Structure 1
Amino acid sequence: MNDSNKSVIKHHGAATGVTGSCHELTLDDNAGLLIDCGLFQGGDRGADGADAGRPEIEFDIRHIRALVVTHVHLDHVGRIPWLLAAGFDGPIYCSEPSAELLPIMLEDAFKLAVSRQPEAINWYLRRVQRLLRPLPFGQWHSVYQGAGKEAAIRLRRAGHLLGSAYVECALTGEARGQDTRVIFSGDLGNRASPILRPPEQPDGCDILVLESTYGDREHDDPGARRHRLRTLIERALVDRGTVLIPAFSIGRTQELLYELEDLIYENQGKEAAGGLHWNDLPVILDSPLASRFTRAYRGLREHWDEQALERVGQGRGPLAFEQLFTVDDHETHQRMVAHLAGTGRPAVVVAASGMCAGGRIVNYLKAMLGDPRHNVLFVGYQAAGTPGRELQTQGQGGQLELDGEIHEIKAGVDTIGGYSAHADRHGLLRFVTGMTRWPREIRLVHGDDQAKRGLAESLRQRYQDSGQKCKINTSP
């Protein structure tokens, strides 16, 4: 590798936590490429001290030539409004499905953090649309040429979210020698996730920036997670209670609906418990944003996996079935909370936010945590410092503070790890060791310290067994 090809990577988020993903790849002395620009959540902070309460861009962006978005979760795109406010006016590259989903997510982020004025929202969305550059999967695209150097990117399927990608960067120096290949993993998916096509295997790279969210553990078997979901629902039917599922508006919600539809379809006509039938179980999607994303998912069927398309061919609606009810306006939401809390009508409620840090799920928790008939089911990662992590840690018999009030936790609290949209330890190791050319440097990001250390130990063992060398950095 030529000296002119040496790359410098700076991390403006997710280096010491699991949110705020934002990485900068130096192209030359006067040009850089930004990979993601996510929001910090919970207690996470950036290297410059920025946190969820202060999302302003506090690093120099004058030399940033383009932004590449791996997927549209807020912890990867939530600071884009502040990036634009700081003066960024370059292209925003993403996959074609992400180009459909990103404006929905950014509109919601803009409303929450900047302005609800229609004129301001429309101006902002027009600007986002002007900057968007959708790219097909698998094709190289030049993003920079200057001073005898070139940079190209290629998006490959990451299997984490509809449209999610990892980014391959090819850097060529003045001598036109061997390319330096850098891969930013974004968030890699769980191969057991429904609807999505699995992550594609990269050929190899020199430097890998790798997420490590579940780097120290394995997910539940898909059959086991399905059995536990069914068991929890049957318990709710027996107790005449509600299963509350805090879920991210995009990705996890659609996968849950897909699985719930299949459970109801498989058990149609059968009694679940106490005279109640599976056909009578309402599944309530109480999130306007999740409803918009679910409609968008239905419109992107060409990107679904074969199993999902087969179900559509059978006349089924994996994301639109008879027992599914959506709640949009706030008044209906309030009535639904009161109805489920005050009656013996069992139900499954899927509501944002996924970490219980706000949104409609908080109202359900306030109304139902004190009643043992109900159950809270976590199906996704809960970042340190969030109410979701506290509820998960405290469990039944503990206490949780919500909006300044202490609530006794009498409801059941369960976690099904197999529903995570992230690759587990095995999946992350396969991503690396499946390469024909293993990285000579790996930077572990987007993970707690324990997860990083566990993954680093596993990687070092694989490299030692293969006789190869690699610099593995858990604190990039």
Structure 2
Amino acid sequence: MPFPQITHHGAVNGVTGSCHELHADAANSYLIDCGLFQGADTANGGRAGQGSLDIEFPLNTVRALIATHVHIDHVGRIPYLLAAGFKGPILCSEPSAKLLPIVLEDAFKLGVSRDQKKVERYIKLIEQRIIALPYNTWFTLQGSSEIICRVRLQRAGHILGSAYVEFDLQYPKTGEKKRVVFSGDLGAPHAPLLPAPKPPHRVDILVIESTYGDHNHEDRRTRRQRLEKVIEQALLDKGTVLIPAFSIGRTQELLYELEEIIHTKPSRAAAPVGARSLAKKILRRVTDETNWPELPIILDSPLASRFTAAYRELQPFWNQEAIKRVQSGRRPLGFEQLITVDSHGDHLRMVQYLARTARPAIVIAGNGMCSSGRIVNYLKAMLGDSRHNVLFVGYQAAGTPGRAIQSYGPAGGYVDIDGERIDIKAGIDSIGGYSAHADHEGLVKFVTGMRQRPSHIRIVHGESKAKQALAARLAAIYQDKQQPLQLEIPQ
């Protein structure tokens, strides 16, 4: 059997459960991500999914796990990987090394145990396994007379710490060399906080995501203006704007953009908050008209609050625009109107208060696809009330409540949440330009921007239509240039 070989254990039939195995030779392989499945997505054999998270592939040759970034659909099955007997290191970028224990602590509490001593032992084990790699620096994974394997991480621009993975494989006995790249999730230009990804110089084999392989985003450079316009229109209904968002990445980008909107608006003095109740905090900032400097921005997610604090500590990895804002004295992720809700009791009181009074406010809560988390309670309380609005700013996977609300809500349909059928009367809107994923053109440019383009491309992490569209475009480009291409869409 010729090497290298690639096996896909997830993100084949959809966009979640990312897990790919690079077989460098018969005795050595490396995992790239090991994520949770969400919605209708399953593993390649159709067995592992939301209800079955066991690792179903052998680990005897797996020497290391490389995490492209810390979203749960890329790292959420790590507890099950360790339970299955994986003994190797976990490699990731320096920012991801700080964020990963937070993600895995939450995943462990949700899926394994909430016993604090067990949690602490588990996180200590994770931290001992992590090897933090600087960007653009080669790290040797394997060196012998049979094979030399090096790995390098490059900025992917998706979330803080995200990376695409370059493998440099050398086979001393034959003199053969192969450069294999796994894209992970690629970001797009003009994203808040993060620099855009730059394609690698040379690739032989490319495994590339295709989340938006059939779609181009709205103009990302004008998205802040669109966000402002959509929110102001929604607030005319005199209710709350709910924004489902994952705890890491999207939440911080939204806070960054909302701070910029507030910064550009005329302000007037407000009384100090003191030790008032959450309801009174809101009341003091609400007027009959949309007044951005007094509009409460409610972050209802303890996990998102922890990530936001970590983001603030990782400012050296922000882009230059964001760093300049901080240097000018602004607090892009900790501005005055931001109200954080931590305890479950405060969360329930906030839901009841906003549902009952319909006071204008913006609520950011997880998770981003409405399949779990605190956003579910808001939706159950508010979807049936036309005064409220839901604004989607991220991808909604097939089979998730978010996809159902996004698809059927504008036509006055319904959604089933926790076994309860809810008629959707709230306003539903979407802003595509806020996706943290590269769009069709961005994915194509990632490939065409390489000095030496890959002769072998495998397209994963997308729904069938998206994968087919990206494949057709790449095939046409290669044919036009009369370049050889082995193009695969794994099934």
Say if 2:423 is the partner of 1:426: no
User: Cα distance 1:223–1:168, how it changes in 2: closer, same or farther (>3 A)?
Assistant: closer
Q: Is the partner of 2:128 in helix, strand or coil? A: helix
What's the % identity of the aligned pairs?
Answer: 57
Alignment-derived partner of residue 346 in structure 1: 360
Q: Is the partner of 2:235 in helix, strand or coil? A: helix
Structure 2: 5+ residue stretches without partners = 269-284
1:302 to partner: Cα distance: 0.4
Say if 2:59 is the partner of 1:44: no
Alignment-derived partner of residue 409 in structure 1: 424
Letter of the aligned partner of 1:440 in structure 2? S
CA distance in 1, matches of 2:59, 2:120: 25
Q: Is the partner of 2:324 in helix, strand or coil? A: helix
With the length of structure 2 as denominator, give the TM-score of the two structures: 0.94
Match of 1:120 among 118, 121, 143: 118
Say if 2:369 is the partner of 1:328: no
User: Cα distance 1:141–1:473, how it changes in 2: closer, same or farther (>3 A)?
Assistant: same
**Contact 2:246/2:366 (8 A) holds in 1:** yes
Alignment-derived partner of residue 7 in structure 2: 10
Alignment-derived partner of residue 299 in structure 2: 285
1:470 to partner: Cα distance: 0.6
Say if 2:15 is the partner of 1:21: no
CA distance in 1, matches of 2:174, 2:430: 52
CA distance in 2, matches of 1:104, 1:152: 28
CA distance in 1, matches of 2:288, 2:349: 26
Match of 2:456 among 433, 437, 441: 441
Say if 2:185 is the partner of 1:166: no
With the length of structure 1 as denominator, give the TM-score of the two structures: 0.97
Q: Is the partner of 1:269 in helix, strand or coil? A: coil
Letter of the aligned partner of 2:466 in structure 1? A
Larger displacement relative to structure 2 (87-96 or 216-225): 216-225
1:273 to partner: Cα distance: 8.6
1:223 to partner: Cα distance: 4.2
**Contact 1:237/1:273 (8 A) holds in 2:** no
Say if 2:398 is the partner of 1:380: no
1:174 to partner: Cα distance: 2.7
**Contact 2:243/2:391 (8 A) holds in 1:** yes
1:62 to partner: Cα distance: 1.4
Size of the alignment, in residue pairs? 473
Q: Is the partner of 1:181 in helix, strand or coil? A: strand
CA distance in 2, matches of 1:303, 1:229: 25
Q: Is the partner of 2:487 in helix, strand or coil? A: strand
Alignment-derived partner of residue 218 in structure 1: 216
CA distance in 2, matches of 1:145, 1:224: 49
User: Cα distance 1:392–1:344, how it changes in 2: closer, same or farther (>3 A)?
Assistant: closer
User: Cα distance 1:178–1:147, how it changes in 2: closer, same or farther (>3 A)?
Assistant: closer
Alignment-derived partner of residue 234 in structure 1: 232
CA distance in 1, matches of 2:109, 2:427: 34
- C-alpha deviations, 1:359-395, integer Å up to 9, x for none? 1000000111011111101111111111111111111
1:274 to partner: Cα distance: 4.7
1:146 to partner: Cα distance: 3.5
Match of 2:198 among 194, 197, 200: 200
CA distance in 1, matches of 2:6, 2:75: 19
Larger displacement relative to structure 2 (313-322 or 236-245): 236-245
Structure 1: 5+ residue stretches without partners = none
Say if 2:463 is the partner of 1:466: no
- C-alpha deviations, 1:180-234, integer Å up to 9, x for none? 0000000000112100111122002110000000011111112443233112221
CA distance in 2, matches of 1:8, 1:166: 18
1:178 to partner: Cα distance: 4.5
After superposition, the CA RMSD in angstroms is 1.5
Match of 2:409 among 395, 406, 412: 395
